[in-house]
Amino acid sequence: MTKAALLRLEFICLFVGIPVATAVFLPATWMFPVLFGFTVVGLILLHLTDEFDWGELFQGWARADWRVIALVMVATAVVCAGVMILTQPDGLFGLVRERPQILLFIIVLYPILSALPQEVLFRVLFVRRYANILPARGTMALNAGIFSLAHLMYWSVIVTILSFLGGLVFAWAYQVKGSFPLAVYLHSVAGIVLFTFGMGVYFYSGNVVRPF
């Protein structure tokens, strides 16, 4: 089997096999254990990737484009407000009103425990290790689709759509703007706004209902 064929098989197992198997066979409460294990595997694979330089992850953190971050923050707020008003108006700003301490916990830890490892996996690993087997066009759409598939465990159309749209923005930050820190900042801001507006109800494992 050629190197390209092995990479394709590895790619399918990591970005399709694991998310689908997790969604079908494991409870949604396994999201963070799976993410942790996936992150460890991803870091090992990155270390074995000739096209990757560890220095990339530590550069540019002080040069964030705050206008882009503000724009994404506002756009996310508008979308979240619209979704909550249309689907669960009583849940709008639920954490702010009822459990502000939980929201504070999310604000502090979400960027480190969720956004950062996801961006390492779905942006850096995706591009650096598999660039040679990715299509010449539509890479960002493919990346967003893979990112959306990783959220299949929630079995929610809303989560699927929002994850895809977020994936496009984060992929743009990394692939077009060439900034891993910007991707992490945007992911962090989007996630915090999402929970602030009460959309955590769609990302709460206790609310997951499988369609089978």
Q: What is the dihedral of CA 95, 146, 152, 45, to 10 degrees?
A: -90
What 3-state DSSP class applies to 186? helix
Q: Say whether pTM exceeds 0.75.
A: yes
So what's the pLDDT on residue 205? 78
Q: Where are the domains of the chain?
A: 3-207
* pLDDT tens digits along 43-53: 999 999 998 99
28 pLDDT exceeds 80?
no
Phi-psi domain of 59 (left: phi exceeds 0; alpha: psi -120 through 50; beta: other): beta
What 3-state DSSP class applies to 138? coil
Query: Which secondary structure element, helix H or strand E, spans residue 184, and what is its range?
Result: helix 180-196
